[in-house]
Structure 1
Amino acid sequence: MWLALAFVSAFFLGCYDINKKMSVHNNAVIPVLFLNTLFCTLLLSPLFFISRLSGETLAGTIYYVPVVSLEAHLYIVLKSLIVLSSWIFGYFATKHLPLTITGPINATRPVMTLVGALLIFGERLNLYQWIGVLLTIVSFFLLSATGKKEGINFRQNKWVLFIFIAAVLGALSGLYDKYLMQKFSSTAVQFWYNLYQCIMMLVVLIILWYPKRAKSTPFSWKWSILLVSFFLTLADFVYFYALSDPDAMISIVSMVRRGSVVISFIGGVLFFHEKNLKGKALDLVLIIIGMFFLYLGTK
């Protein structure tokens, strides 16, 4: 069940990546990110208020948001800081790099999560799963060569560095998620971490962006901003639910989630008419084959 949920989350995550690229294209990043955290919080708010006003309605279901302790809130605040830091780096990188580059780089994030899962949680992979992991690693080196054809030097381009930092923080977040989902309600974690992110981004918006808004890229409203929040909320809801299963392996769930690159790649071709598709398609095929071997490894 948890593996099927991971594939569903990957689909929504791919839709999220496409709309994120649309939202930040020729647009101010910080207000877009603030609105995304705000809308994510608003989308989950009905569950929170129904749980408070009429707890019996949702009690015992995945939609119930229980009261959590002060200790839990501290854990969730840390989660918010990690995710928000990853998003800030990731959104700026997405604005300046082709989606067919950022997608596959993000797809290497589970390799970092894998190392952590092996060391921290004692997870062990079988032969099929190792093949899937190795194919993902090879795909990254091929992607580096393809990026040079577009004038993107992976060693000197700061936006590539940004997407790598985002990936490392994302991997750290994934490992932390495994711990949180075994300790607290997944729905409670999702609601509160979105709310805390919204508050943090409001501070960033007021202090860093608003006073200098006239000197930076202007903000313009796009309906894709709302879609970013919609697809992200769905992707995270299913993802957290998958990790709440005691048998779920974060190393595998993270790898499958990065299969979202298939959706974002298609979006890059259809909506942004990105170039050098042959080389990137080979990278994509390797990732898909890797996902297949991961699937075989869990049968």
Structure 2
Amino acid sequence: MWITYGLTAGVVLGLYDYWTKKGMDGNGVMAVVFWSSFFGAAAWLIAFLPVSYGSGFHVDPGATNLKQQLFILFKGLMMTGSWIFAYYSVRELPMSFSGAMRASGPLWTFLGGALIFGEILTPLQFCAVLASVIAYFLLSQIGKKEGISITCSTPILMMLVATLLSAMTTVYDKWLVQVLELKPNDIQAWSALHRCLLAGIIMWFFCRGGRSPMMPNWSFWIPLIGLAWVGAEWVYFLAIQDPNANVTYLSIFRRVSLIVGFLLSVLLIGESNVGRKSIVILILLISTITLILHA
């Protein structure tokens, strides 16, 4: 089931990527980061109330001590930083390229999983991981034909930073659940509140004095961003609760989001160079299927 959960999280993240692109249209990054975080936190508030008791979503406010809260806060710091860098990139780049810059994510996750959890892939499995990384790289190379330089583009570098932070969070989540033995609901609910608070502080710092508006041009895309992330994270945590779950595989499965986002971009935004990009994404799909069949 952890494979199914991982793929489902990837599909939801594809919607999240598309909604982020739409929500960023004409808006400042910090305003979107805060308000999407706000709606994500609001979705978890009911879990702290007695009405949620026995529902499977309930969170006991007194169940985590200060040390555990600090561990969860560190997750929130990494995620908030990842969002800020990623949103700047998504605002400036076509969806296919902002997704392609996550190419190094599975490798970083692989290194983390190997070093921390001893997750070693077979030669065939490693080739599938490598093929997916190469596919993302080739997709990014197509960007040169569209005037996007990997080495000289600030949005590209921002997405690389966001990818590294996201990969660290992927490994850290499994450590919180399987080593520190924190309840997934506690991690997600408190982290959502932490992210909202952190994003609010950062937004105030960057937007004070009228340098940037704290209120975005309002659209229903913004709450959808926050709710989609909560949904994807919920499904992802169902996956990593399984002791057999491999964080390297999960990192690859979550990259299914690129396929979903690319299709939505082609149909609704007007992505260019569709033929060449489709071939590269097909390579990615084959590598993902290979991992599923040999999991």
Which category of TM-score, normalised to the shorter sequence, fits these structures? over 0.9
Task: Assess if the C-alpha contact under 8 Å between 2:102 and 2:136 holds in 1.
Answer: no
Structure 2: gaps (5+ residues): none
* TM-score with structure 2 setting the length: 0.94
Tell me what 1:262 maps to: 259
Tell me what 1:208 maps to: 206
1: distance between equivalents of 2:151 and 2:126? Answer: 27
Task: Assess if the C-alpha contact under 8 Å between 1:127 and 1:297 holds in 2.
Answer: no
Tell me what 1:141 maps to: 137
Q: What is the deviation of 1:138?
A: 1.5
Q: What is the deviation of 1:202?
A: 1.0
Alpha-carbon deviations, 1:87-136, whole Å to 9, x = none? 10000000000001112322541221011111221002124422211111
Tell me what 2:240 maps to: 243
Alpha-carbon deviations, 1:118-170, whole Å to 9, x = none? 12210021244222111112113312320101100000001100000100111
Tell me what 1:86 maps to: 82
Which residue type is aligned with residue 160 of structure 2? F
2: distance between equivalents of 1:283 and 1:101? Answer: 12
Q: What is the deviation of 1:16?
A: 0.5
85-94 or 265-274, which moves further after superposition? 265-274
Q: Quick one: structure 1 residues 196 and 218, their matched pair in 2 at CA, closer, same or farther if it must change by over 3 Å? A: closer
101-110 or 86-95, which moves further after superposition? 101-110
1:65 aligns with 2:59: yes
Task: Assess if the C-alpha contact under 8 Å between 2:240 and 2:247 holds in 1.
Answer: yes
Task: Assess if the C-alpha contact under 8 Å between 2:207 and 2:214 holds in 1.
Answer: no
Q: How does 1:1-299 map to 2 (within 5 A)?
A: 1-50=1-50, 55=53, 57-58=54-55, 61=56, 63-66=57-60, 67-182=63-178, 183-213=181-211, 219-298=216-295
Task: Assess if the C-alpha contact under 8 Å between 1:76 and 1:193 holds in 2.
Answer: yes
2: distance between equivalents of 1:18 and 1:271? Answer: 10
2: distance between equivalents of 1:90 and 1:54? Answer: 33
Q: Identity across aligned pairs (percent)?
A: 31
Q: Quick one: structure 1 residues 280 and 96, their matched pair in 2 at CA, closer, same or farther if it must change by over 3 Å? A: same
Which residue type is aligned with residue 99 of structure 1? M
2: distance between equivalents of 1:33 and 1:41? Answer: 12
Alpha-carbon deviations, 1:48-77, whole Å to 9, x = none? 213xx674x23xx3x232421211101001
Task: Assess if the C-alpha contact under 8 Å between 1:128 and 1:296 holds in 2.
Answer: no
Which contiguous aligned blocks of 4+ residues in structure 1 show a shift greater than 6 angstroms? Answer: none
Alpha-carbon deviations, 1:222-278, whole Å to 9, x = none? 111111112111100010121111111111111111111110001111222121122
Task: Assess if the C-alpha contact under 8 Å between 2:171 and 2:247 holds in 1.
Answer: yes
Which residue type is aligned with residue 226 of structure 1? P
Q: What is the deviation of 1:29?
A: 1.2
170-179 or 130-139, which moves further after superposition? 130-139
2: distance between equivalents of 1:241 and 1:3? Answer: 10
Structure 1: gaps (5+ residues): none
Which residue type is aligned with residue 44 of structure 1? W
Task: Assess if the C-alpha contact under 8 Å between 2:177 and 2:184 holds in 1.
Answer: yes
Q: Quick one: structure 1 residues 186 and 107, their matched pair in 2 at CA, closer, same or farther if it must change by over 3 Å? A: farther
2: distance between equivalents of 1:206 and 1:179? Answer: 32
Q: How many equivalent residue pairs? A: 291
